[in-house]
Structure formats: structure tokens, C-alpha cells
């Protein structure tokens, strides 16, 4: 771990680094360390010196641990930012050792898929055997019985559950223990931006490699490299059904019919409902030239309405046969790159989907990306005005990724989303534009876009300070860091993130968890957060206890006023409203009592049992994922759904964690 106590020591380390606002140097190739680039402010900052320390620790990291504020103050805020943007220069052995303790994280995907398949086959065989013996129990009871009677199968399935559990637990443990805090923040950001849902089939088996090999190594690299790695990742291929997408073959106008099919998502504005299909449209479709002269004469003789009707009939005849799948193509444009207002059309979605046909994998074997030319649509395509010539293969998809990664719309979309994460829910337009310019100028260098944002006057403005509500993941990580907790390598702490509303890898829809605060601040959520703080202070979480806090022993015999002053300084950045201070002094939170009286225990916000155990619970907005995907089990939900009674210093700490000042970053 790098430990620097004075500016002069750091100056030696930074000898030769650029110390200006000019364009920073990019990381060299090979194994050379990333250059340190200190960007000095060119004008006075609105935040005080102490606020700046809190700002960087809470925005570029998951909050301060005991002693972190003093270290950043001694090093200097700008130097600390430069070091966090060069994580390969930070020794992180403690976090590495913790991650190495997880059995499943380092195993190859091929082995994990094999384990999963063996478990599923064994369950089906056991169920079939029991059914043949005349057991008419309900399916869930049958499963419980066969697991009870077969210890070997039970152990195997528990081991399979650990695959996802390890990656969820390790993600939180890293956020708590790692000194490479910005690396962890950016990994969390991109795993939410390129979200995959652990509750869909094999995805939970593919997530360890997704985190380890796809997102984490590219989190501060080039956006095009990250985009390409995601596009070829088995987790994304399976989640959005891209692995099943193939060129339509029943009829050359099948693609056009898909454009008009009932129930298609209509999120792209400006699309009407065509009543017919012209020959000009027909001729642009794949394989149109392969029709016989007689077939073409028949189609030419039809009215546009008849052509469309024919196409619809062919679609109906196709039934469930594999064909073009637009899921990934649509999310690539809308959520991953251009944004919903990025200027693309439904026809662009179709053309992108055609270009990506053949990008697949074999989920029952190695679960690795492969390109299959046999199912690729090799016809000419036009994507966002760019013509992709006919007769190509995997190059079609690569060019699509080049086009969207380097689009000005993508630069603005990514810049705004990063500014929203780091600065405010409604970031200043001037900052977004500067960050977008950096994105374009550096060919999508994520590190430099982040540098532009986190060294800006807007980042250090009064309006930005404590303007962001912590997500459930950020809240749990910051609370554990604040008390100096040891990383929890069980699933308990990770399940608390799910209880608070955002199970790790548990968002079903491809838009990910919200980056803005209103999603996390309803009555039930606030009460849950207050109870979480008291539960942590009461020692209900593994590795977390107020007694671990470095000042705890000294303060145990102090007066209440002295305890409050120390807790406000350590947990709330030295600033607390009169209302918060009175709550800490009195030991009573009137808001908690009011919320407890208005929020019914059996409501969706308090009684998490039904949603946490339901395998059918959809993940939209604030709903909770199934327990097997990271949400708490019923016992944990009931325990945290009730206010915990604590006294003394633990009470002050618990109330501080539930205070508005701690809930914001």
C-alpha cells in the first residue's frame, strides 16, 4: 500500500508528471505503470478544504475509513485524485488476498458450466424417478424431499449457488477493503451500465468471468475496447438472447414483417404503422436477389398491402424457429451507446441486428464467444448512414461497434452519465460538453473523461457537495468502511444490499439501477436505511462492530456530547444539521417513529419475504430480486425490518449512519 505523509514525498514520486490543466498523457502500452497526472485548479474552489477531502473520498470511493481523511489531507486532494486514476500504482495486497479466498472466482467458465449442468441433470433425474414411483407431491416439495434424501446432490447444488454468491460477496468486500477505490467505483458503474440479470438461466454462472475478465480490466480503459468485450461476453450474449440471433431464411421479407409485428417495443419515436410493402423496400431486404424470376414476378404483381400480408403470413408460419433477434441491437443503441434520443430509427435497430447475426456461443460447452458464418446475414446493410458491403462476416459487427463507439451522440451520452454519477443528478451542461469533447479527442479514453469531470470546478462546487443520494450498495459499503469493518466473505452483507432495494446483479431490465436519488427515497426505503444503521451498530453483520472503530475505546466513557462531537466529525464530515445533532444527543429519531407508524409491516417496503423468495418477482424500479439472486432470506428481512434497540456510543453511531448527512455523498 502506498503511504505518503507529506507533499514533498509525493512530489518525488510525481517527478516528471504533468502538473497543469493541459491535455494529460495517456497510459503507455505494455506493462509500464500509468503516468501520474496532477491537474492543479486554475481558480478558487467553492468547497472548503475539508469538504474537498470528503468530496473525493465519497465520490471517487465508497467513503472514508478511519484515518483516510488525514491521509488525503496530508497528500493533497489533487495528488490523491491523480493516484486513484492510476490504480496500477497502488499496492492492493490486502484486497487481493481477500478475493483469493473465494473458491469460485478463479475457476474457468467451462468448469462452472459443467458443475451447473451436472446439478441440473441430477435434479431432473431425481424428480423423474420420484414421479415414476407415484409421488404426487408439489414440485417444490418434491425438490425439497430429493435434496433432503440426497446429501451429495444437496452439496452440489449449494456449491453451484456459491458461484454467484462469491462474486456478489467479493464485489462488496472489494469496495470495503480495496485502496483502489476509483477502480471499484468504475467497475460498479460499468456493471450497472452494461447490466446483466443473474436470475436468467446461465447468466449467474457466467457473471464471475464477466466481472473478472470483461468489466474490471477495462473500467478505466478505452470505451471501444470495453464495448467490444461486453458484446462478446457470454453473460451479455445469453442475457439479451444475442447467441440465438440468426439470419432469417424463410422469406426475404421476413425482416420487414418483424418491424411491424404486434407487441414490438416502440421506444423509438417517429415510427408509423405502414400499411404495405413497396418493391423498393423489398429489394433492400436480404436474399431478395436469390428469388427465382417467377417468384419475383408474383411479388411484383401484388399490391403493397398484399405483400405485407404475405410477409405476415410467413412470420406466422415461422412459429418459434430461430431468426433475427433485436434485443441486444436495441440495447446497444439505446442504453449502451447513443442513448434514447441518439437519432437512430427502428430500421437502424434491424440493420444492427443483422450485422450481429452469427455472434454467438455454445452455452453447454465452453460458453465462449464464437462467430458462426452459417447463421450470419451477409447481405448489404446501412447503419446510421454507413453502408456495410455485402459478403462479409464478423467484420459487420465490429464495424457497427466502431460506428457507435465513436459517434458524437455516444460521447455526450456517456459523458452525461458519468457526470451524473460523479457530480449531480442534473449535471451542468457545460461540464457534460467538456467531458464529451474529451471523449472525442481521446478516442473514448474513460480515464481522461473521468479526469475532466472530477477535476472540474463543477465537481468542487457548493451545489455538488452532498447532492447525491447513496445507492444501497454505496450505503452498505460506506457504512462498513466508516466503522473500520473487516470485509465480510459470507453472503450476509451482500444480502443486505438486496434488502435495501438493489440486489447485486439483480436488476432484470437492461437499463440497470437508477443513478439518481429519487428512486431510493420513499418512506419504506428511508425507514429500512435507518434500521440498517442501528443493526450495524448493534453488531448484527459479520465483521462489523462499533468496537472496531479506532476511537471507540476512547469514547466509551466520554460524555454524550463528546461522543456526538466525535461521531459527527468521523461519520458526517464534521457537519450536521441542528436536527441531526439533537437526534444524536437524545437517542430518538422522530422520523423513524413517524415512518414506522405509517409504513405497514406487511407492505412491499417492509415485508421483503414474499418478494425475496418469489422466483417470479420481476425486477423493475424498486422491486426485489429472488433470494437465490442475492436478496436476503426471510430471516434476514424480518430481522432488519424492525428497529434495533442499542444504547451508548453504538446508538450514536447507528443514528448517524441513518442520518441524512450520511445517506448522501
Predicted confidence at residue 2, as pLDDT, reads 42
What is the per-residue pLDDT across 619-658, written as a single tens digit (0 to 9) for each?
223 233 334 444 444 444 444 556 678 899 999 999 999 9
pLDDT at 427 over 50: yes
Average pLDDT over residues 587-614: 57
Task: Determine which of 10-24, 250-264, 291-305, 465-479 has the lowest per-residue pLDDT on average.
Answer: 10-24
Q: Are 488 and 542 in contact (CB under 8 A)?
A: yes
**485 is written with which cell numbers?**
469493518
Q: Are 211 and 336 in contact (CB under 8 A)?
A: no
What is the per-residue pLDDT across 262-297, written as a single tens digit (0 to 9) for each?
444 444 333 445 567 788 877 765 556 556 777 788
Provide the greatest CA pair distance for the chain. 96
**103 is written with which cell numbers?**
473458491
Q: CA–CA distance from 19 to each of 35, 39, 79, 152 (Å)? A: 12, 5, 10, 61
Average pLDDT over residues 320-348: 92
Backbone angles phi, psi at 491, to 5 degrees: -90, -5
Which burial class, exposed, middle or buried, applies to 99 when counting CB atoms under 10 A from its CB (0-12, 13-18, 19+)? buried
Higher per-residue confidence, 617 vs 208: 208
Average pLDDT over residues 126-149: 63
Q: Would the pTM count as exceeding 0.95?
A: no
What's the whole-number average pLDDT of the chain?
Answer: 83
Q: Compute the CA torsion angle 149, 153, 154, 160 (nearest 10 deg).
A: -170
Angle ∠(13,18,23) on CA atoms, nearest 5: 145
Average pLDDT over residues 388-417: 97
Cα(572)–Cα(568) distance, integer angstroms = 5
pLDDT at 403 over 70: yes
Task: Determine which of 547-551, 570-574, 594-598, 624-628 has the lowest per-residue pLDDT on average.
Answer: 624-628
Cα(363)–Cα(345) distance, integer angstroms = 32
3-state secondary structure of 63: coil
What is the per-residue pLDDT across 358-377, written as a single tens digit (0 to 9) for each?
999 987 776 899 999 999 99
Backbone angles phi, psi at 545, to 5 degrees: -160, 140
What is the per-residue pLDDT across 146-179, written as a single tens digit (0 to 9) for each?
666 667 767 777 777 889 999 999 999 999 999 9
Alpha-helix residue ranges (DSSP H) falling in 64-180: 68-75, 77-84, 93-100, 109-132, 139-149, 151-177
Higher per-residue confidence, 524 vs 507: 507
pLDDT at 212 over 80: yes
Predicted confidence at residue 242, as pLDDT, reads 96
Predicted confidence at residue 301, as pLDDT, reads 87
Share of residues in the chain with pLDDT > 70 (%): 78
Predicted confidence at residue 662, as pLDDT, reads 97
Instruction: Give the DSSP H or E segment for 369.
Output: strand 369-371
Average pLDDT over residues 295-306: 83
Which burial class, exposed, middle or buried, applies to 205 when counting CB atoms under 10 A from its CB (0-12, 13-18, 19+)? buried
Share of residues in the chain with pLDDT > 90 (%): 61
Predicted confidence at residue 77, as pLDDT, reads 98
- Rg (the chain; Cα; Å): 27
Cα(576)–Cα(404) distance, integer angstroms = 46
Of residues 513, 504, 501, 657, the one with CA closest to residue 592 = 657
Predicted confidence at residue 645, as pLDDT, reads 82
* In the chain, where the domains are located: 99-239, 254-405, 472-663
Predicted confidence at residue 406, as pLDDT, reads 97
Cell numbers 430481522 label which residue?
639
Predicted confidence at residue 320, as pLDDT, reads 44
What is the per-residue pLDDT across 275-284, written as a single tens digit (0 to 9) for each?
677 888 777 6
Angle ∠(214,211,93) on CA atoms, nearest 5: 110
* Percentages (nearest 5) of helix, strand, coil residues in the chain: 55, 0, 40
11: pLDDT confidence band, cut at 50, 70 and 90? very low
Average pLDDT over residues 449-467: 97
Predicted confidence at residue 310, as pLDDT, reads 74
Of residues 492, 501, 504, 419, the one with CA closest to residue 454 = 419
Which burial class, exposed, middle or buried, applies to 430 when counting CB atoms under 10 A from its CB (0-12, 13-18, 19+)? exposed
Cα(347)–Cα(324) distance, integer angstroms = 13
What does the DSSP 8-state code read for residue 360?
E
Average pLDDT over residues 589-601: 75
User: CA quadruple 571, 575, 579, 585: dihedral positive or negative?
Assistant: positive
Q: CA–CA distance from 70 to each of 10, 58, 67, 75, 454 (Å)? A: 15, 14, 6, 9, 20
Cβ contacts of residue 144 below 8 Å, gap of 6+?
none
What does the DSSP 8-state code read for residue 247?
-
Predicted confidence at residue 141, as pLDDT, reads 58
Predicted confidence at residue 618, as pLDDT, reads 29
Of residues 346, 329, 444, 337, the one with CA closest to residue 396 = 329
Higher per-residue confidence, 395 vs 602: 395
Please provide the DSSP assignment of 516-556 as one string: SGGGG-SHHHHHHHHHHHHHHHTT-STT--GGGSTTHHHHT
Task: Determine which of 200-214, 299-313, 602-616 has the lowest per-residue pLDDT on average.
Answer: 602-616
Amino acid at each position: 500500500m502506498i503511504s505518503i505523509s507529506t507533499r514533498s514525498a509525493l512530489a518525488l514520486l510525481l517527478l516528471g508528471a504533468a502538473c497543469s490543466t493541459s491535455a494529460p498523457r495517456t497510459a503507455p502500452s505494455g506493462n509500464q505503470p500509468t503516468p501520474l497526472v496532477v491537474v492543479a485548479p486554475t481558480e478558487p474552489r467553492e468547497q472548503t478544504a475539508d469538504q474537498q477531502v470528503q468530496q473525493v473520498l465519497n465520490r471517487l470511493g465508497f467513503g472514508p475509513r478511519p484515518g483516510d481523511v488525514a491521509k488525503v489531507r496530508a497528500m493533497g486532494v489533487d495528488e490523491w485524485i491523480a493516484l486513484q486514476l492510476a490504480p496500477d500504482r497502488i499496492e492492493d495486497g490486502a484486497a487481493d488476498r481477500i478475493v483469493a479466498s473465494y473458491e469460485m472466482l478463479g475457476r474457468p467458465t467451462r468448469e462452472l458450466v459443467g458443475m451447473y449442468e451436472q446439478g441440473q441433470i441430477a435434479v431432473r433425474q431425481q424428480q423423474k424417478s420420484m414421479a415414476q414411483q407415484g409421488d404426487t407431491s408439489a414440485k417444490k416439495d418434491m425438490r425439497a424431499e430429493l435434496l433432503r434424501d440426497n446429501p451429495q446432490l444437496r452439496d452440489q447444488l449449494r456449491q453451484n449457488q456459491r458461484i454467484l454468491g462469491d462474486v456478489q460477496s467479493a464485489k462488496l468486500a472489494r469496495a470495503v477493503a480495496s485502496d483502489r477505490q476509483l477502480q471499484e467505483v468504475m467497475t460498479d458503474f460499468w456493471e450497472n451500465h452494461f447490466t446483466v440479470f443473474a436470475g436468467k438461466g446461465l447468466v449467474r454462472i457466467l457473471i464471475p468471468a464477466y466481472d473478472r475478465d470483461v468489466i474490471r480490466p477495462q473500467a478505466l480503459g478505452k470505451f471501444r475496447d470495453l464495448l467490444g468485450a461486453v458484446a462478446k461476453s457470454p453473460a451479455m450474449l445469453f442475457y439479451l438472447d444475442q447467441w440465438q440471433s440468426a439470419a432469417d431464411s424463410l422469406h426475404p421479407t421476413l425482416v420487414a414483417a418483424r418491424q411491424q409485428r404486434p407487441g414490438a417495443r416502440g421506444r423509438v419515436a417517429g415510427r408509423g404503422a405502414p400499411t404495405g410493402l413497396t418493391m423498393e423496400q423489398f429489394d433492400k431486404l436480404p436474399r431478395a436477389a436469390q428469388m427465382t424470376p417467377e417468384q419475383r414476378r408474383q411479388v411484383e404483381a401484388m399490391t403493397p398491402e398484399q405483400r405485407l400480408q404475405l410477409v405476415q403470413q410467413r412470420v406466422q408460419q415461422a412459429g418459434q424457429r430461430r431468426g433475427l433477434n433485436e434485443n441486444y441491437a436495441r440495447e446497444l443503441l439505446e442504453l449502451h451507446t447513443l442513448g434514447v434520443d441518439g437519432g437512430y430509427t427502428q430500421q437502424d435497430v434491424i440493420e444492427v441486428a443483422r450485422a450481429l447475426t452469427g455472434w454467438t456461443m455454445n452455452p453447454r460447452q465452453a460458453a465462449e464467444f464464437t462467430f458462426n458464418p452459417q447463421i450470419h446475414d451477409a447481405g448489404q446493410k446501412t447503419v446510421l448512414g454507413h453502408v456495410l458491403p455485402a459478403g462479409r462476416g464478423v467484420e459487420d459487427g465490429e464495424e457497427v461497434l466502431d460506428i457507435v463507439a465513436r459517434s458524437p451522440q455516444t460521447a455526450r451520452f456517456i459523458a452525461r452519465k458519468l457526470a451524473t454519477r460523479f457530480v449531480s443528478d442534473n449535471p451542468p451542461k457545460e461540464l457534460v460538453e467538456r467531458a464529451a469533447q474529451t471523449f472525442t479527442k481521446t478516442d473514448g479514453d474513460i480515464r481522461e473523461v473521468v479526469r475532466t469531470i472530477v477535476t472540474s470546478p463543477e465537481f468542487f462546487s457548493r451545489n455538488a457537495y452532498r447532492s447525491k443520494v447513496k445507492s444501497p450498495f454505496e450505503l452498505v459499503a460506506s457504512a462498513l468502511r466508516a466503522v473500520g469493518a473487516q470485509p465480510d466473505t459470507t453472503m450476509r452483507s451482500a444480502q443486505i444490499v438486496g434488502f435495501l432495494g438493489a440486489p447485486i446483479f439483480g436488476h432484470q431490465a437492461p437499463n440497470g439501477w437508477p443513478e439518481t436519488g429519487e428512486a431510493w427515497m420513499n418512506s419504506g426505503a428511508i425507514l429500512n436505511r435507518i434500521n440498517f444503521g442501528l443493526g450495524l451498530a448493534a453488531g448484527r453483520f459479520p465483521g462489523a462492530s462499533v468496537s472496531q472503530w479506532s476511537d471507540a475505546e476512547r469514547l466509551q466513557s466520554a460524555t454524550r456530547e463528546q461522543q456526538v462531537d466525535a461521531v459527527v466529525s468521523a461519520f458526517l464530515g464534521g457537519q450536521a444539521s441542528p436536527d441531526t445533532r439533537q437526534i444524536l444527543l437524545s437517542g430518538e429519531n422522530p422520523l423513524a417513529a413517524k415512518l414506522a407508524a405509517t409504513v405497514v409491516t406487511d407492505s412491499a417496503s417492509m415485508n421483503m419475504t414474499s418478494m425475496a423468495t418469489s422466483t417470479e418477482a420481476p425486477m423493475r424500479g424498486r422491486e426485489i430480486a429472488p433470494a437465490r439472486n442475492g436478496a436476503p432470506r426471510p430471516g434476514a428481512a424480518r430481522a432488519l425490518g424492525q428497529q434495533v434497540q442499542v444504547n451508548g456510543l453504538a446508538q450514536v453511531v447507528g443514528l448517524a449512519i441513518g442520518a441524512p448527512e450520511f445517506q448522501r455523498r
